[in-house]
Every structure is written in C-alpha cells, then in structure tokens.
Structure 1
C-alpha cells in the first residue's frame, strides 16, 4: 500500500511549471557545486471553514553532480508515533510511505531522471516508473529537485534591489500568485522562496540552510544501501 500526502515540493507554486518549460535534464548538472543543506518548508492555508492550517517540515538535501538525495527529517515524537502504529492497519499489504521514504534521483546516460524511493526502516529500494512520478508528487524535473527552483524560472523574474551577501532577490506576480526567490549563483540554489496567493488564503515559504561538507563525511547516502532489497513500485499498489 502506498501512503502519500502533500509532502515534497518540486516547483513550489502554481504557474511556475509553464515558465520552466518542458522537463529536460540540465546541460550543466555536472558543473553544479556540491551541496549539503537543511531545507525547511512552511505552508499556511486558510480553509473554507475559517480554520488556518499550518504545515511545517524539514528535509535533508544532498547534491552531487547528477545525483540528488532528499530525506525527511523526523523529530523524535514522529518516530514514537510511527513505532506505535497498529500492525493490523497494514495487514496483508506491502507498506510504503512516499513522504518519509528518502528520494534518490539520478540522471541516466540519456539525461533522463530516474527516481527511487528508499525505505530505511524496511531496507528496501523502490524504483518508480515515469508513469507513476505524479503519484509520488514528483514533477519529473531533476533541476527543480536539485536547485529548489530551476534557474530558468528564477532568471525569468525581475531582480529586486541590489545583490545581498547571500545572492540576489527576484520576484514576479503570475496567475494570482506573488513569488520571491533569493538565488545564489555560487551555490546554484534557491536559498529562500516566498510565495503567496493574491487573496492571502495560501502562503508558502522555503528556507535553505547550507551545511558544511563535513555533514556528509564518509559515505554519501546512496553509497550506504548495501543489503537493501530492490523492489518494483507495483508491489505497493492497492
């Protein structure tokens, strides 16, 4: 059984995908700087009931040339809740949570993205076919996963003010949204994204904290999968 919520964010808001163009492999992926980062997400939405819903989560991001690893950071309380789930809930089903499983993206020899979900708890690696990318909230853009917001999208916006120490702010209004992005040319990465629907009912923020290279000293996450069992995605479909 596949569990999925509105977790991972590729192109962060409505209207950006069309500006980014078709899902194509970036020609300079191998030239990107290595990145280790902690990415914080916050979504604040006013529901029709008058209730304001706030979702906050964090992910670890590791980028090396043509490979990207993202993994949800789970607080101890979340791990405690997971440990006490009833086994009866999943009786008779293969279980895979597409949000809490790590995402391992690679570019193949033709420059097309390959996606695998890595379930650390059950030590399995699940290859996701292209036809199922949307079911795990992946839009098919390697560059969006690698840079938070593709550089082509950012550079199509208007610069806002003078460059700051971290980079340059860009902004636009598009299809009922306002977007601001703090872009770092040095890191080839969006360091902050602020988006808001014009009516104020939905706000999204992404904040990136760069980590020192020592954060991944030793084996990179995709190099530590010895003994993990490869599985096909259709094993988890209801």
Structure 2
C-alpha cells in the first residue's frame, strides 16, 4: 500500500458525525488563521511474509482564506530526469503526474471547490473538473482539507487524560492537546491546536504495530509574498483531459 492509498484509507475508514449543531454551512465558515507549514508523512507496513516497507515524503503547505496550496518536495535532479525521459522519448507523448505538481484548491463563493495542479517544470496549470477528481484521489471535503483532519472525526475523539509537556509542543502552538480514538484493531491519535484550528500530528496504527501512518506538521512563521498561486500568470492553462490518450 503506497502513501496515497494509506492516507485515503485513513479518511475513509473513520465514521463521520456532526461536530456541532451550529456548524456553518459551506461558504459561511469563518476564516481560519493563515498558515505556512512543512508536513512530513511516513507509512510503514510489515507484510505477512516479513517484508517491511516504509514510505516517506514531505510537502510545503499553505492555508490562506479560501486558498490551499500543497507542494511535494522532490529533489530537482530527480524531477528533471523523469521529465526529460518522457519529453525526449522516441515517441514523444504528453504526460502529467499530479504527484509531481503543486495542488491548488480554491473555495468558491457558493462553497464549491476548484482543483488545479501547477506543473512548474512545463509551466502548465492543469484544471480538474469534479468528474475527474477520482483521477487524483481528490476528495472535495473542505473542512477536512483545511484542518488536516475532519472536524467530524475529531468530534468522535476524547482528549488524553495527561496533558503533554510544554517542551514537547511546537513553539507556535503551546495550546495543542492529544486526542485519541480506538476502533477495533485501529488506534488513532491527533495533536490538535484549537488556536490554529489545525491537526499538528496524526498517528494511526494497528494494535500490533504492523501498519503505521504518521503525519507531522511544522509551523513556519509568516506567509510568502506573493503567494504561489499569484505567480501563475505565464502558465499555460490546460485541462486534465488534454493528457488523455
């Protein structure tokens, strides 16, 4: 199971319930604090034949009003070699990998989401209409996307009895507390900051430890100026269907 499948499974397996009776309707939610962060993901799985597989990656993440930007950190030589191989193949072909592009999600006034991927190597801005969301495993759940955990999932969890030591908490989020949920063979822990309205860590593992997932958020001060999505004027506008065979 790769990291994308595992992260998707995390969202699917947990049942959802309402966080509160007065939860705002889409498009009416109060603005959350702007955030720039570095997020690291690690998954580990031990197969029945004893083979341990571990996957890890990092991404830059920005939340600013109705905008979300996430960008996988890929070594430039690796990205260049991959694109060069495809761009100079004996039979040239169009190719696009959403995992290697920055994801830009914007919430519209009616509460709907617009999904685009910015391919910096080819200077393409690739639009995904809702009918194609499954092509990139995108789930249009704005409250979960901009908090890194579904509020409805957090509502099912209980705060751990012992408060975390202050020196174990991020410098910019001393208010954070651990929450816990146990379901069958699964244990989920979330380090939640009420001030930032953000999950700063998500840990999920089986009781035997043979399947593990961890997300860690490192808060960064300030936001870049201009924002990444404000630097796309010279990009070519594309549709994901332009890359279909």
TM-score per shorter chain, which class? Answer: 0.7 to 0.9
- Greater shift, 32-41 or 90-99, is seen at 90-99
Give the structure 2 partner of residue 31 of structure 1. Answer: 31
Give deviations 1:33-87, integer Å, cap 9, x for gaps: 0000000000001124421110010010100111100000113553464366354
Please tell me whether the aligned partners of residues 12 and 149 of structure 1 are also in contact (alpha carbons under 8 angstroms): no
Please tell me whether the aligned partners of residues 96 and 236 of structure 1 are also in contact (alpha carbons under 8 angstroms): yes
From 13, 16, 32, the counterpart of 1:15: 13
Partner secondary structure for residue 126 of structure 2 = strand
Give the structure 2 partner of residue 222 of structure 1. Answer: 229
Give the structure 1 partner of residue 201 of structure 2. Answer: 192
Partners in 2 of 1:26 and 1:182 — Cα distance? 27
Give the structure 1 partner of residue 239 of structure 2. Answer: 232
Partner secondary structure for residue 152 of structure 2 = helix
Partner secondary structure for residue 74 of structure 1 = coil
Give the structure 1 partner of residue 130 of structure 2. Answer: 130
Please tell me whether the aligned partners of residues 10 and 149 of structure 1 are also in contact (alpha carbons under 8 angstroms): no
* TM-score normalized by the length of structure 2: 0.83
Partner secondary structure for residue 189 of structure 2 = strand
Please tell me whether the aligned partners of residues 40 and 217 of structure 2 are also in contact (alpha carbons under 8 angstroms): yes
Partners in 1 of 2:9 and 2:86 — Cα distance? 35
Q: How many pairs were matched up?
A: 228
C-alpha RMSD over aligned residues = 2.4
From 176, 181, 188, the counterpart of 1:172: 181
Partners in 2 of 1:27 and 1:92 — Cα distance? 47
From 194, 205, 210, the counterpart of 1:201: 210
Partners in 1 of 2:83 and 2:238 — Cα distance? 23
- Flag structure 2 segments of 5+ consecutive residues without an equivalent: 19-24, 165-173
Partners in 1 of 2:90 and 2:161 — Cα distance? 53
Deviation at 1:12, TM superposition (A): 3.6
Note closer, same or farther for the CA distance 1:166–1:119 as it changes in structure 2 (3 Å cut): same
Please tell me whether the aligned partners of residues 205 and 212 of structure 2 are also in contact (alpha carbons under 8 angstroms): yes
- Flag structure 1 segments of 5+ consecutive residues without an equivalent: none
Partner secondary structure for residue 99 of structure 2 = coil
Give the structure 1 partner of residue 22 of structure 2. Answer: none
Partners in 1 of 2:40 and 2:85 — Cα distance? 26
